[in-house]
C-alpha cells in the first residue's frame, strides 16, 4: 500500500485491524498520506465508533518526534449473530466483533422441515439470545449462517444439497433477515451463508493455526465434507463446490446408495449416517451421526470397530487430498472425530500418501469443537463488513 495516496478510510481501518500500523505515524508511513489526510480519515472512523485509542499508552512514532497514541479496532460497537445448522440440530450465538461468544443456544432443529420453518425458528432464537446478552437488535451488524450443503456465496443460496431437502435455491438471506426483524422489529441486516465445513475450517485456522498457509478440515457427521483455507482465505472453487469429498466414488461403496442418489459415494460407506445404519442393522439403536458419537463416548465395541473402519476409508481418499494440497494441518471434526476414527485415517493416509506429502503434516482433531462453525460464521461476517471497499460503503451510508 506504500505510496498509494488514495488510501481510503477503509484501508486505514484494515491496517489497524491487522495490527500492521497502529499509530498515526505508522499509517502515514504505510500509505504515503499526509498527517492532515490521515487525521481526516481517522476522524471518520472515530465518528462511526469503529476505532478507539488503545489502552497500552503512547509508543514511539516511526517518524520521530513525540510518542504516538496507539489505535485499535473497537470490537464493542456492534455484535454479530451466527448459527450452525446440522441435519438434526442447530447452534446459535451472539458474538462480539472479536469472536467472543456472548450468549449461546443449541437445540433440536430438523433441516428436513424446510427453510421456512428452520429459519423462522432461528429468528426466534436470535431474539432470545440478544435479550440474554443484554444487546438491542440495533447492535446487530450482520448474520452468518453455516449450512450442511454446497453454497453459492454470491447469492447465499444452497445448490443441489444432498441432505437438505427443499432448500435448493431458496432465498435464505431474505427469510433469515425477515425472521429476525419479525421477532425484534430491527431493520434488515446483511446475511452471509456458507458451507459448514468451510466455516469450521475458517474458525479453526484463524484461532488455532493462523500461520498455517494451507489448512484442511474434514467434517464427518451425517455426511462428509471438507473445508480448505489457503493463504488465510477459504477456497470455495468456482461455484462453492470445493471440498465436497463425501461424493467421491470409492470401490467399497459400489452397492451403497448415497443420499445424493448415486451409488458408491464415500459418504454412503464412511459417514456418521453410514455407520449408524450398519449399527442399526446389527441391532444397535442408532439413527444418526450424533447417536454414533454417543456410542463411541461410551466405548461401545461395535461402534468403535466401525468408526475405525470408516476412518480407513476416509484416510484412503485423504491421501489424494494431501498429495494435491500439501497442507500443514489436516483436522478431523464432527461426530466421528475421536480416537478410533482418527486411528483409521492415519493408518491409510500414511500408507498411501508419499512421505514427501506428509513430512510436515499435523493430523489433529478439532480445538473449538461444536463452536467452530459459529466462530467461523462470525469471522466471515466481520471480515466482509469491515473489508476496505465495504467499509467505505457503510461509512457513506452512515453519513460519516
- Binning pLDDT at 50, 70 and 90, where does residue 357 land? very high
- Phi, psi angle pair for 263, to nearest 5°: -100, 145
- 74-77 long-range contacts (CB < 8 A, ≥24 apart) are 74/49, 74/50, 77/48, 77/49, 77/50
Could you tell me which residues are beta bridge partners of residue 234? 229
DSSP code of residue 51: E
pLDDT in tens, 123-164: 999 999 999 999 999 999 999 999 999 999 999 999 999 889
DSSP code of residue 260: T
Considering only CA atoms, which of 29, 108, 50, 38 is closest in space to residue 398?
A: 50
Q: What is the pLDDT of residue 57?
A: 57
Residues 6+ apart with CB under 8 A from 397: none
Whether the predicted pLDDT of 65 surpasses 60 = no
Dig out the grid coordinates for 67 from the structure: 510518542
Cβ distance 18 to 395 under 8 Å? no
Measured from the Cβ of residue 369, the count of other Cβ atoms closer than 10 Å reads 11
Q: In the block, which residue shows the cell 444439497?
A: 161
DSSP code of residue 70: P
- Binning pLDDT at 50, 70 and 90, where does residue 59 land? low
**CA separation for the pair 46, 27 (Å, rounded):** 15
Please name the residue ranges forming H helices in the chain. 9-17, 24-31, 35-48, 115-133, 172-184, 196-208, 266-270, 272-281, 289-297, 301-325, 339-352, 355-358, 372-385, 388-397
Whether the predicted pLDDT of 2 surpasses 70 = no
- Give the angle subtended at the CA of 80 by the CAs of 77 and 81, to the nearest 5°: 150
Indicate the average pLDDT of the chain.
Answer: 93
Measured from the Cβ of residue 379, the count of other Cβ atoms closer than 10 Å reads 23
**CA separation for the pair 112, 288 (Å, rounded):** 14
- Binning pLDDT at 50, 70 and 90, where does residue 252 land? confident
Q: What is the pLDDT of residue 1?
A: 47
The residue that leads in pLDDT, 1 or 338, is 338
The residue that leads in pLDDT, 288 or 388, is 388
pLDDT in tens, 183-240: 999 888 999 999 999 999 999 999 999 999 999 999 999 899 999 999 999 999 988 8
Give the helix/strand (H/E) hosting 252: none
Range 76-89 average pLDDT: 95
Range 332-339 average pLDDT: 94
Dig out the grid coordinates for 126 from the structure: 436470535
pLDDT in tens, 365-395: 999 999 999 999 999 999 999 999 999 999 9
Model pTM? 0.92
- Binning pLDDT at 50, 70 and 90, where does residue 121 land? very high
Residue 263's SS3 state is strand
- Give the angle subtended at the CA of 352 by the CAs of 212 and 246, to the nearest 5°: 70
Whether the predicted pLDDT of 56 surpasses 80 = no
Considering only CA atoms, which of 70, 52, 145, 48 is closest in space to residue 391?
A: 48
Whether the predicted pLDDT of 109 surpasses 50 = yes
- Binning pLDDT at 50, 70 and 90, where does residue 3 land? very low
Amino acid at each position: 500500500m506504500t505510496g498509494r495516496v488514495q488510501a481510503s478510510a477503509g484501508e486505514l481501518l484494515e491496517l489497524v485491524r491487522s495490527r500492521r500500523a497502529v499509530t498515526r505515524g505508522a499509517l502515514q508511513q504505510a500509505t504515503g498520506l499526509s498527517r492532515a489526510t490521515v487525521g481526516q480519515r481517522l476522524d471518520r472512523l472515530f465518528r462511526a465508533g469503529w476505532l478507539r485509542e488503545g489502552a497500552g499508552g503512547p509508543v514511539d512514532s516511526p517518524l520521530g518526534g513525540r510518542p504516538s497514541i496507539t489505535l485499535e479496532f473497537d470490537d464493542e460497537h456492534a455484535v454479530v449473530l451466527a448459527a450452525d445448522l446440522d441435519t438434526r440440530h442447530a447452534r446459535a450465538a451472539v458474538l462480539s466483533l472479536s469472536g467472543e461468544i456472548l450468549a449461546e443456544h443449541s437445540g433440536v432443529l430438523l433441516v428436513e422441515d424446510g427453510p421456512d420453518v428452520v429459519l423462522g425458528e432461528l429468528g426466534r432464537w436470535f431474539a432470545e439470545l440478544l435479550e440474554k446478552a443484554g444487546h438491542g437488535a440495533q447492535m446487530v451488524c450482520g448474520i452468518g449462517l453455516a449450512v450442511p450443503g454446497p453454497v453459492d456465496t454470491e447469492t447465499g443460496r444452497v445448490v443441489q444439497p444432498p441432505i437438505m431437502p427443499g432448500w435448493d435455491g431458496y432465498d435464505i438471506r431474505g427469510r433469515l433477515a425477515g425472521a429476525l426483524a419479525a421477532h425484534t422489529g430491527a431493520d434488515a441486516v446483511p446475511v452471509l451463508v456458507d458451507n459448514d465445513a468451510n466455516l469450521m475450517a475458517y474458525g479453526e485456522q484463524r484461532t488455532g493455526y493462523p500461520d498455517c498457509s494451507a489448512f484442511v478440515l474434514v467434517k464427518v457427521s451425517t455426511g462428509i465434507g471438507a473445508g480448505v483455507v489457503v493463504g488465510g482465505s477459504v477456497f470455495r472453487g468456482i461455484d462453492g463446490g470445493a471440498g465436497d469429498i463425501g461424493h467421491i466414488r470409492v470401490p467399497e461403496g459400489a452397492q451403497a446408495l448415497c443420499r445424493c442418489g448415486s451409488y458408491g459415494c464415500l459418504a454412503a460407506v464412511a459417514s456418521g449416517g453410514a455407520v449408524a445404519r450398519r449399527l442399526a442393522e446389527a441391532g444397535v439403536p442408532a439413527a444418526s451421526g450424533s447417536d454414533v458419537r454417543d456410542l463411541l463416548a461410551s466405548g461401545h465395541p461395535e461402534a468403535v470397530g466401525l468408526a475405525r473402519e470408516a476412518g480407513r476409508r476416509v484416510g484412503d481418499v485423504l491421501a489424494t487430498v494431501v498429495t494435491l494440497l500439501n497442507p500443514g494441518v489436516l483436522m478431523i471434526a464432527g461426530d466421528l472425530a475421536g480416537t478410533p476414527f482418527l486411528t483409521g485415517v492415519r493408518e491409510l493416509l500414511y500408507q498411501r500418501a508419499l512421505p514427501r506429502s506428509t513430512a510436515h503434516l499435523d493430523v489433529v482433531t478439532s480445538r473449538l469443537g461444536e463452536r467452530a462453525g459459529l466462530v467461523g460464521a462470525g469471522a466471515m461476517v466481520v471480515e466482509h463488513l469491515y473489508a476496505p471497499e465495504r467499509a467505505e460503503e457503510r461509512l457513506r451510508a452512515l453519513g460519516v
